[in-house]
Amino acid sequence: MKVGVVGASGYVGGELLRLLSTHPDVELNMVTSRTYAGEYVHRIHPSLKGFIDLTFSPLNIDKLTENDLVFTSVPHGKALEIVKRLYDAGVKVIDLSADYRLKNPKAYVEYYGYEHPYPEMLLKSVYGIPELHREEIRNARLISSPGCMAVTSLLGLAPLLKNNLVDTKHIIVDSKIGSSGAGGKPSASTHHAMRAGVIRPYKPVKHRHTAEIEQELSIIAKEDVKISMTPHAVDLVRGILCTNHTFLTKEVDIQQLWKIYRGMYKGEPFIRLIRDTKGIYKYPDPKFVVGSNFCDIGFDIDEKNNRLVALSASDNLMKGAAGSAIQCMNIVQGFNESNGLKYTPFTPV
Amino acid sequence: MKVGVVGASGYVGGELLRLLSTHPDVELNMVTSRTYAGEYVHRIHPSLKGFIDLTFSPLNIDKLTENDLVFTSVPHGKALEIVKRLYDAGVKVIDLSADYRLKNPKAYVEYYGYEHPYPEMLLKSVYGIPELHREEIRNARLISSPGCMAVTSLLGLAPLLKNNLVDTKHIIVDSKIGSSGAGGKPSASTHHAMRAGVIRPYKPVKHRHTAEIEQELSIIAKEDVKISMTPHAVDLVRGILCTNHTFLTKEVDIQQLWKIYRGMYKGEPFIRLIRDTKGIYKYPDPKFVVGSNFCDIGFDIDEKNNRLVALSASDNLMKGAAGSAIQCMNIVQGFNESNGLKYTPFTPV
Amino acid sequence: MKVGVVGASGYVGGELLRLLSTHPDVELNMVTSRTYAGEYVHRIHPSLKGFIDLTFSPLNIDKLTENDLVFTSVPHGKALEIVKRLYDAGVKVIDLSADYRLKNPKAYVEYYGYEHPYPEMLLKSVYGIPELHREEIRNARLISSPGCMAVTSLLGLAPLLKNNLVDTKHIIVDSKIGSSGAGGKPSASTHHAMRAGVIRPYKPVKHRHTAEIEQELSIIAKEDVKISMTPHAVDLVRGILCTNHTFLTKEVDIQQLWKIYRGMYKGEPFIRLIRDTKGIYKYPDPKFVVGSNFCDIGFDIDEKNNRLVALSASDNLMKGAAGSAIQCMNIVQGFNESNGLKYTPFTPV
Amino acid sequence: MKVGVVGASGYVGGELLRLLSTHPDVELNMVTSRTYAGEYVHRIHPSLKGFIDLTFSPLNIDKLTENDLVFTSVPHGKALEIVKRLYDAGVKVIDLSADYRLKNPKAYVEYYGYEHPYPEMLLKSVYGIPELHREEIRNARLISSPGCMAVTSLLGLAPLLKNNLVDTKHIIVDSKIGSSGAGGKPSASTHHAMRAGVIRPYKPVKHRHTAEIEQELSIIAKEDVKISMTPHAVDLVRGILCTNHTFLTKEVDIQQLWKIYRGMYKGEPFIRLIRDTKGIYKYPDPKFVVGSNFCDIGFDIDEKNNRLVALSASDNLMKGAAGSAIQCMNIVQGFNESNGLKYTPFTPV
Amino acid sequence: MRKVNCPECDGEIKVPDDAVKGEIVACPDCGANYEIEEIGKEIKIKPAESVGEDWGE
Amino acid sequence: MRKVNCPECDGEIKVPDDAVKGEIVACPDCGANYEIEEIGKEIKIKPAESVGEDWGE
Ligand SMILES: NC(=O)c1ccc[n+]([C@@H]2O[C@H](COP(=O)([O-])OP(=O)(O)OC[C@H]3O[C@@H](n4cnc5c(N)ncnc54)[C@H](OP(=O)(O)O)[C@@H]3O)[C@@H](O)[C@H]2O)c1
Ligand SMILES: NC(=O)c1ccc[n+]([C@@H]2O[C@H](COP(=O)([O-])OP(=O)(O)OC[C@H]3O[C@@H](n4cnc5c(N)ncnc54)[C@H](OP(=O)(O)O)[C@@H]3O)[C@@H](O)[C@H]2O)c1
Ligand SMILES: NC(=O)c1ccc[n+]([C@@H]2O[C@H](COP(=O)([O-])OP(=O)(O)OC[C@H]3O[C@@H](n4cnc5c(N)ncnc54)[C@H](OP(=O)(O)O)[C@@H]3O)[C@@H](O)[C@H]2O)c1
Ligand SMILES: NC(=O)c1ccc[n+]([C@@H]2O[C@H](COP(=O)([O-])OP(=O)(O)OC[C@H]3O[C@@H](n4cnc5c(N)ncnc54)[C@H](OP(=O)(O)O)[C@@H]3O)[C@@H](O)[C@H]2O)c1
Ligand SMILES: [Zn+2]
Ligand SMILES: [Zn+2]
């Protein structure tokens, strides 16, 4: 199968290349970058030296239609046209941007500041979290890969909403994320001396991922769910932790929570439940998933305050982006769902 | 004035030494450590080489009573007797542990696992946050310096509770803290290779600082306040950020919030309000207070969800511990409140 | 093939488990730890949760002889007996400690402070760098895996000594290494708050790896080579950079150096030559090999001063330890040399 | 005394502001930035919020002449004219760039790629290391503050050259430096995700600071000294370690070295000798000087190889830049040499 | 240098002595921009369009 | 090696073939300790006191 990657010079693009270059079932055929067209891939992604022989191509959609499937990993707003044209040409598309994630076109105005030009496409697009939409993914022609904090938070919260355990108006998602989450473009605030050593809140209210988390949780809960999200930049390169604070509407104990989480995630190849009472790994921490496609999930209860904390950790470039996208590709193509994703994480890293 | 420091080989002790060794109004007279008695201070606190000539003394309470004022910075449970005996001998004490912070003796059983041996002393002890208790501190003989996350969170939340703006049953304190917050004792979980690169939740429910935050906020709000706190270890040495998520019970806008925060903190030497719409420092971040005694405070509103986020950042060893303690000493002794604390923070560090 | 790992609770042991648990040709049969006998492996190596079902066994050499091959990764001095007994029982051994690396028994007294009890074994042991000793490894029964800084430095310097290009009395190896290089045992100097943010020289003279570097380079150069080594701890978990400063005895230019390095390393699966004049990856940097078995090597010339700088970078737990050991196992067992080692490094990490 | 700072929006400029804003003897009168003219200083240097009320002025040299003394901290090549015009107008100048550091105009062509327009000025300029040139500084009208790695290395090596102990043709300066050393301008290679986690050699040969180190050491040694320098970027914001590898021409022991170093640095307010055999601070490490004006210096001998390692550590923005410049200002103005520089470093930070 | 308080956050906005009517001044605390409406014994300011400047994410 | 499910979290607890009655086994997921009550065709376990071991804060 011939595969192309648009926006291959970015961080998500680079991670897609890392995974695709050793994937047993695909041929990496075309990787585009406007800025680095003609340049060897390893000049931009040094670690890939020796793995990929290709040079970047300019962004030529006609040529891209020679592929069976194309990943688009460009900034939001910039994927709108590219995806539409590839889709219309019959190419399967997995879009890593936000441009086809939301079902409600009005949400694009509110959260992204643009009027969506192809609202009818939004319903054709499948939200690419296998744990939530595996069957729809199998038959999709357009898959919209989730936001990195969104997928991490959603996997932590979904079992609670599915079981109607929590107050849907007081859910706080406090997330912490490494610098690769902001992509590869330098700026004053990503300059190392300014970005190192921070615990920097940004968009403490109205963060864009709110929209997709609310959309998906409302489907699961079958009612209107409100999310209060605050992300923080921390001094890491890869990794997300979502601390999902919720308030219980029913009484529940730890044993029941184990059952609820196991019930939803039994057999999932990339979910690990982490809630130990011994050792140093008692709750999820992105340190122990870096480089892998895992989302580690844990939980705890504060009886005094009826609070339930659901913790979820992922590598933002893997389960948070390229890993999820490859998993979706495997499903849609009927490959083994773990192919190309068998990366064991590290102790220590 | 002669000053002693008990537990001077610890991180808080070391920071006290740093501040006291150049304080214009005190003579640093005696610094104790059981483990390092007889050893030069700079062997344990290398940066202080050239600043302090003293060697550590063994912990001898009789000798300590020769001081006018003693700081105790030993683990909780271990200050109980030391403080009591010094107090009874007429020495002023500023205790950095939790042993005299809570007014309700039962809270010690619940949160610290011990029966408090001197419950009557709890009412004599003043909780050492000048912004909340300056007048009481002025006349105190025993000051109990607050927990590092507690003071940081409290300073961010106090104006809201004082003005009865928020739902007192749905306050989430999500805090992030550097490794010095856990003190200087090595363990498997503080070993660099295991501690670096983490976003590690610990005690996601029932953290001990909950008790003192609830105590102080309940006084301020004049009603029973509940706090839901989850701390996280991040890959930093110094610094705390508290993200205080609250839900509004009244309508309020940003302009009113400015007024409320300015109203409470006008003239405070160590509070800075940070809520900018330009530049890279839009909200509090401990990066820009490291080494100083500031608590930087900011806020934002999520109208859609009636949420108010109050952000507060400090250096856990300064405003979070030794800095607050010195500030209290200055007040109780009638010194200029900023003496010994005039450290400008760094850009960048 | 049945494989055992002694010292499996350590960092090198854990990395061996990571690699062996997905190696296509081996059965991981027994993993020992004295301290954690009976405990699940993932309690000590959290990232391996889901990959290894085993619990640690106590260190029982008789039971270990049921394996075809055993890796020993215990502190130096502690492998002496274990290796000898396994060897005598006919088991193949790959020892990760220094106990069988040096040919000259006297060097053990000088550098390690002990009299080697089995000097005759030293000649039977093969020094496990495939790029230098592949044929001997193929037929070995005892392989001694190199020190992490030693192998990294050696791979950078070998081509120069082989071609007798440099002054053998003025070779400086200035190396920088992450905290995992010191193993998993906590101490005051590895405590995160003290170990973070350092550029800490240690053993600036007489470091133990000097002995093995001198041994191997002297063989290659066919003369007595002296190494001046100074290692530094830096604020990283994984990774080594060796800056090998040499002085030229012959005139040589960059083009000739390319020929010399390519000549020696052509076809080597885990050597990459890095000397670019474009992009950000101009010289080796461990950042771009982390998690992989590569040693990246580069060079530059200072004509004014007749100096040649050879730079070499590796992941200390991979090419610097477990990766090299697995590569040796593959050779000695006749497996594909890259099996179990196909880990692509990351951009960024 | 009225003082101005040109290039005040840069990292060195910001550090000058930090020091000057609390300096007892000066009035900070004018701070320039082309890009941020009109903007408040704390928008660029967030930590200074509350310390400086000024806004940046555009770069107007006529206005700058109203000052008694001006610091220029702009990129090399850009200070040439500014310094000349201020000097000609009778203003004292302390230049932080390299434009007036070298005595030999030809060296500017070789190392900086430009023909120096005012070669006669080079001899009027005094090289601003008080430990080497205090008397000349006292009477200077133009002081050229040293390069950050240059001053650090020089202070470590000077006593050896002064005592003619080492081979002047085989001196290796292997230095490691944090990201603030490269200034505040974002680029692909300083973007956090690419700059974090590195041990990145850059300019392994022919680094510009070579010229000034050779110039100064040749004066001290009274012979032509050659330096082989290789700098490395490490994952820190502030701090430099220079590992100065030398080969002995005379026999010398540790006791004699103590004498030699003490002999040269006795009474120096900002030099600390660090060579301990106990504790964790055995050799210099920038961790323990961060924020202060110290240069910590240590040494060790490798008898087997006639090697002497001199280690020196500083904060690149303090002793490596702004701190040295303020120290020079204090000397030239007859202030107490430590004024404005009394910052105790931290344990831990 | 004269000062005027920010209507939004009550911060102290500095107004240069040579400032003229129509000039834009900004608040040091909240970043709001104001146009100088009147500059006599008293200084009057009114909200001005923010340039929406952002030096990074 | 036989297995028994953890009553708390449903994790798979490994029971060595040579295990005997009274022996303590621990759950790999939630860390709970159990004592082997019966070991025949079926394995029965009951909660045991946790050693309260903690390898760090
Ligand atoms: N980073 C994460 O953790 C993460 C996680 C999940 C989803 N995402 C999403 O994935 C997408 C890519 O993110 P990233 O982090 O990889 O960003 P990035 O590093 O900035 O890369 C962006 C890529 O898009 C290309 N590009 C930029 N502007 C373009 C335009 N106008 N038209 C076509 N191509 C353009 C760039 O290449 P050239 O300029 O060379 O053409 C580059 O290859 C974004 O939509 C992001 O929101 C990111
Ligand atoms: N770290 C922070 O950010 C922070 C902030 C606010 C408050 N605090 C509180 O301040 C106190 C000290 O914290 P730390 O971080 O400095 O801890 P630390 O680094 O572990 O230091 C503890 C000190 O207490 C001494 N000590 C330990 N056990 C003792 C005992 N049984 N009797 C007498 N002395 C004993 C130790 O010295 P020897 O063993 O040598 O005698 C050492 O000097 C704690 O109560 C902590 O909760 C800490
Ligand atoms: N770390 C590196 O980068 C690196 C690289 C190359 C080579 N090495 C070498 O590899 C070996 C292991 O290093 P490491 O970093 O993995 O160290 P580590 O993390 O400290 O692990 C040491 C292991 O040895 C076991 N052990 C300790 N004392 C023992 C004894 N007396 N008898 C039997 N077992 C004992 C320990 O387990 P229990 O105490 O539970 O039994 C543990 O599993 C060392 O020889 C080291 O020099 C390390
Ligand atoms: N960073 C260190 O550790 C260090 C140590 C010792 C010496 N130095 C030297 O100190 C100087 C400043 O370094 P830095 O690290 O502060 O760099 P920086 O952060 O890049 O700052 C450079 C400053 O110069 C100004 N500038 C840039 N181009 C200019 C031009 N053409 N004309 C006038 N002003 C210009 C910039 O402001 P605007 O663009 O806003 O005008 C900025 O204020 C350099 O010469 C550097 O080599 C640096
Ligand atoms: Zn304002
Ligand atoms: Zn269980």
For residues B313-341, average pLDDT? 98
Q: How far is B89 from chain D (nearest CA, A)?
A: 32
Instruction: Give yes or no: residues B281 and B170 share one domain.
Output: yes
Which residues in D lie closer than 8 A to residue A35 (C-beta atoms)?
none
Q: Neighbours of E (≥3 Cβ pairs closer than 8 A)? A: A, B, D
Q: State the Cα–Cα distance between residues C147 and D157, nearest whole angstrom.
A: 31
pLDDT < 50 regions, chain D: none
Residue A35 is predicted with a pLDDT of 97
Pocket of ligand 2 contains residue B71 by CB under 6 Å: no
Selected from 1.20.1260, 2.20.28, 2.60.120, 1.10.10, the CATH number assigned to the domain covering E2-47 reads: 2.20.28
Beta bridge partners of C223: none
D213: CB partners within 8 A, 6+ apart:
D150, D153, D154, D157, D173, D227, D229
Which CATH number do you get for residue A58?
A: 3.40.50.720
Any long-range contacts for B164-167 (C-beta under 8 Å, 24+ apart)? B164/B221, B164/B249, B164/B250, B165/B246, B165/B248, B165/B249, B165/B250, B165/B252, B165/B260, B165/B308, B166/B246, B166/B247, B166/B248, B166/B249, B166/B308, B167/B246, B167/B247, B167/B248, B167/B249
Rg (CA), chain D: 20
| pLDDT, average across residues B37-66 | 96
Using CA coordinates, name the residue in chain C closest to A317: C348
The pLDDT value recorded for residue F1 is 80
On whether both C225 and C309 belong to a single domain, the answer is yes
Instruction: Give C11 Cα–ligand 3 centroid separation in angstroms.
Output: 7
For residue C183, the ligand 3 atom closest to its alpha carbon is: 15
How does residue F16 score in pLDDT terms, banded at 50, 70 and 90?
confident
Is B192 in the same domain as B299?
A: yes
CA-based nearest residue in chain E for residue D41? E28
Find tokens 């002794």 and name the residue.
B333
Q: What type of residue sits at position F37?
A: E
Last residue of a domain, one of B108, B124, B140: B124
The share of chain D scoring above pLDDT 90, in percent, equals: 99
Considering the domain architecture, whether residues D169 and D239 belong to the same structural domain is answered as yes
D38 within 8 A of D55, measured Cβ to Cβ? yes
β-strands F43-47, F33-39: how paired? Answer: antiparallel
Q: Based on the domain organization, do A250 and A156 belong to the same domain?
A: yes
With beta carbons less than 8 A apart as the criterion, state whether B45 and B14 touch: yes
- Read off the pLDDT of each residue in B240-268 and give the average, rounded to a whole number: 97
Check whether E35 has a pLDDT greater than 50.
yes
- Same domain for C183 and C54: no
Q: Is residue C135 part of a domain?
A: no
Annotated catalytic residue, options A148, A242, A295, A328? A148
Residue D183: strand, helix, or coil: coil
What residue owns the CA closest to ligand 4's atom 25? D7
- Report the residue of chain D nearest C312, measured CA to CA: D201
Domain extent at residue A105: 2-124
Q: How far is CA D275 from CA B46, C203, C262, D24, in A?
A: 12, 12, 43, 34
Report how far residue A205's alpha carbon sits from residue A328's, in angstroms, rounded to the nearest whole number: 31
| ipTM score above 0.90 | yes
From the list D44, D237, D346, which residue is nearest B47 (CB)?
A: D346
Q: Say what the pLDDT of residue F50 is.
A: 61
- The torsion angles phi and psi of B137, rounded to 5 degrees, stand at -60, -40
- DSSP state letter for D98: S
- Is A198 part of any domain? yes
Show the ligand 1 pocket: residues with CB < 6 angstroms.
Answer: A 7-13, 33-36, 59, 73-76, 78, 96-97, 147-148, 180-181, 183-185, 316-317, 320-321
**B225-229, B294-298, C309-313, E50-54: the lowest-pLDDT one:** E50-54
Q: How far apart are CA D83 and CA D121, in angstroms?
A: 10
Helix (H) or strand (E) holding B246: strand B240-247
Q: Across residues E35-41, what is the average pLDDT?
A: 91
Which residues in chain C are closer than 8 Å to A289, comparing Cβ atoms? 47
Ligand 4 atom with the smallest distance to the CA of D11 is 16
Contacts of C222 (CB under 8 A, 6+ apart): none
pLDDT of the residue at C113: 97
**CA dist C196 to B37, B225, D178, Å?**
27, 38, 13
Give domain status of residue C346, yes or no.
Answer: no
Q: Does B197 touch chain C (CB under 8 A)?
A: yes
- Phi, psi dihedral angles at D28 (to 5 degrees): -75, 115
**Tens digit of each residue's pLDDT (9 = 90 or more) over C45-94:** 999 999 999 999 999 999 999 999 999 999 999 999 999 999 999 999 99
**CA of A159 to nearest chain F CA: how many angstroms apart?**
15
pLDDT beyond 90 at E53: no
Q: Do C193 and B186 touch (CB under 8 A)?
A: no
Q: Is residue C316 over pLDDT 90?
A: yes
Average pLDDT over residues A143-157: 98
- Contacts A235 to D, Cβ<8 Å: 196
Q: What residues of C are labeled active site? A: 148
> pLDDT tens across A239-249, in order?
999 999 999 99
The residue assigned the tokens 């490291």 is B290
Q: Annotate C304-330 with DSSP letters as a single string.
A: GGTEEEEEEEE-TTIIIIIHHHHHHHH
Average pLDDT for B117-122? 98
Number of domains composing chain D: 2
pTM comes to 0.97
At D206-217, the pLDDT tens digits run 999 999 999 999
Q: Are residues D120 and D154 in the same domain?
A: no
Judge: C191–B178 Cβ closer than 8 Å, yes or no. Answer: no
For chain A, give the percent of residues with pLDDT over 90. Answer: 99
- The answer to whether chain E touches chain F by having 3 or more C-beta pairs less than 8 angstroms apart is no
Chains C and E are touching, with contact defined as 3 or more CB–CB pairs separated by less than 8 Å: no
pLDDT over threshold 50, residue F57? no
Burial B320-335 (b: 16+ CB within 10 A, else e): bbbbbbbbbbbbbbeb
The answer to whether residue D346 sits within a structural domain is no
D59 and D184 within one domain: no
Q: Would you say residue E54 has pLDDT above 50?
A: no
Asked if C55 and C153 sit in the same domain, the reply is no
Burial class for B253, CB neighbours closer than 10 Å (0-12, 13-18, 19+): exposed
Using CA atoms, how far residue A37 sits from A6, A45, A68, C279, D138, in Å, is: 12, 14, 22, 14, 57
Which atom of ligand 2 lies nearest, measured to the CA of B180?
Answer: 1
Q: Is B187 on the interface with C (CB under 8 A)?
A: yes
For residue B182, give the ligand nearest its CA. 2
User: Ligand 5 centroid vs B255 CA: distance in angstroms?
Assistant: 9
Whole-number average pLDDT of chain A:
97
Q: Which among C312, C288, C290 is positioned nearest to C299, based on CA atoms?
A: C312
Strand partners, B32: B6, B57
Q: What is the arithmetic mean of pLDDT over C12-23?
A: 98
Beta carbons within 10 angstroms of residue D71's beta carbon: 29
Q: Residue A232: beta bridge partners?
A: A176, A201
C195 lies in a domain? yes
pLDDT class for E50, splitting at 50, 70, 90? low
Same domain, B283 and B237: yes
Instruction: Please choose, from the candidates A344, A278, F32, A341, the residue with its C-alpha nearest in 3D space to the C-alpha of residue C50.
Output: A344
3-state secondary structure of D29: strand
Q: Find the CATH number of the domain harbouring A178.
A: 3.30.360.10
B247 neighbors B166 (Cβ within 8 angstroms): yes
Kindly provide the residue ranges of all beta strands, DSSP E only, lying in D187-322, ordered along the sequence.
Answer: 199-201, 227-234, 240-247, 271-273, 295-302, 307-314
pLDDT at A303 > cutoff 70: yes
In a domain, D79, yes or no: yes
Gap from D165 CA to chain C (nearest CA, Å): 17
Q: Is the CB of residue D44 below 6 angstroms from any atom belonging to ligand 4? A: no
List beta partners, residue A238: none
As a whole number of angstroms, the distance between CA D186 and CA B348 comes to 14
B83 Cα to the center of ligand 2, angstroms? 14
> Is there a single domain that holds both residue A116 and residue A263?
no
Does residue B29 surpass a pLDDT of 90? yes
Task: Render pLDDT for C77-86 as a digit per residue (tens, 0 to 9).
Answer: 999 999 999 9
Contact between B190 and F56 (Cβ < 8 Å)? yes
Residue B335 located in a structural domain = no
Q: What are the pLDDT digits (tens) for D211-269?
A: 999 999 999 999 999 999 999 999 999 999 999 999 999 999 999 999 999 999 999 99
Task: Compute the nearest-CA separation of D184 from chain A (Å).
Answer: 8
Query: Do residues B31 and B4 touch, judged by C-beta distance below 8 A?
Result: yes
To the nearest whole Å, the CA of D157 is away from the closest chain A CA by 29
Tell me, yes or no, if B148 is annotated catalytic.
Answer: yes
Looking at chain D, which subunits does it touch, using at least 3 CB pairs closer than 8 Å as the criterion? Answer: A, B, C, E
pLDDT higher than threshold 80 for residue B344: yes
pLDDT value of residue F56: 36
Of the CA atoms within 13 Å of residue B53, those in its CB half-sphere come to: 2
Both B242 and B170 in one domain: the answer is: yes
Best CA proximity match to C287, nearest among C342, C232, C235: C235
Q: What is the pLDDT of residue D12?
A: 98
| Closest residue on chain F to A257 (Cα) | F9
Name every chain C residue with its beta carbon within 8 A of the beta carbon of A50: 272, 294
Does the C-beta of D97 come closer than 6 Å to ligand 4? yes
Best mutation site among A277, A285, A300, A347 for testing chain F: the one with the most F CBs within 10 Å? Answer: A277
How does DSSP classify residue D210? H
> Where does ligand 3 bind, in terms of residues with CB under 6 Å?
C 7-13, 33-36, 59, 73-76, 78, 96-97, 147-148, 180-181, 183-185, 316-317, 320-321
Alpha carbon A222 to its chain centroid, in Å, reads 23
User: For chain F, what are the domain ranges?
Assistant: 2-47
